[in-house]
C-alpha cells in the first residue's frame, strides 16, 4: 500500500494537529477517489488543528471542510477518472476525512 501526506486534527487536550503520512488503506469507504489539488482554510479547520473546538467527531481525522481535485478512480456511474470535482459540506473534516490531504475518498 502507498501512503500520502495529510493534516490530522488534534485530539482534545492532546498535542496540536500535525502533518502525517496516512496509508491509502485508511481512506474511508466511498466510490470516488480524488487526487486533491486545493482545499481552503476555514475557521472550523483552525479549531480542529488546535484542538480548541469540538468540531471533529472521531480521531484520527484529516482536516479540511472542502476539496477540489481530479478523480483518480471511480465506481460511480456519475464520475470517471480525469473528471475535475469540487466537494463541500458532507461532514468533511468533521465526520469524514477532509481535503487537507493528497488523496480523498468520497461518495
1-38 pLDDT, tens digit each: 699 999 999 887 778 899 999 999 999 999 999 999 99
Global confidence as pTM: 0.91
Cβ atoms 39, 66 nearer than 8 A: yes
pLDDT, tens only, 41-79: 999 999 998 888 788 989 999 999 999 999 999 999 999
DSSP helix/strand/coil, 53 = coil
- Reported confidence tier of residue 87, pLDDT bands at 50, 70, 90: very high
Q: Where are the domains of the chain?
A: 3-106
Give the CATH number of domain 3-106; options: 3.40.50.1980, 3.90.180.10, 3.40.309.10, 3.50.50.60.
3.90.180.10
In this structure, the number of other CB atoms found within 10 A of the CB of residue 90 comes to: 14
- Grid cell 470516488 in the structure block, residue: 32
In DSSP notation, 11-47 reads PTTSPPPEEEEEEGGGSPS-SEEEEEEE----HHHHH
Amino acid at each position: 500500500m502507498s501512503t500520502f501526506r495529510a493534516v490530522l486534527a488534534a485530539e482534545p487536550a492532546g498535542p496540536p494537529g500535525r502533518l502525517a503520512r496516512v496509508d491509502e488503506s485508511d481512506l474511508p469507504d466511498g466510490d470516488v477517489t480524488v487526487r486533491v489539488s486545493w482545499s481552503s482554510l476555514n475557521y472550523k479547520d483552525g479549531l480542529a488543528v488546535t484542538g480548541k473546538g469540538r468540531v471533529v467527531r472521531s480521531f484520527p481525522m484529516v482536516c479540511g471542510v472542502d476539496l477540489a481535485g481530479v478523480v483518480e478512480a471511480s465506481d460511480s456511474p456519475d464520475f470517471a477518472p480525469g473528471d475535475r470535482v469540487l466537494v463541500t459540506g458532507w461532514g468533511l473534516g468533521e465526520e469524514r476525512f477532509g481535503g487537507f490531504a493528497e488523496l480523498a475518498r468520497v461518495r
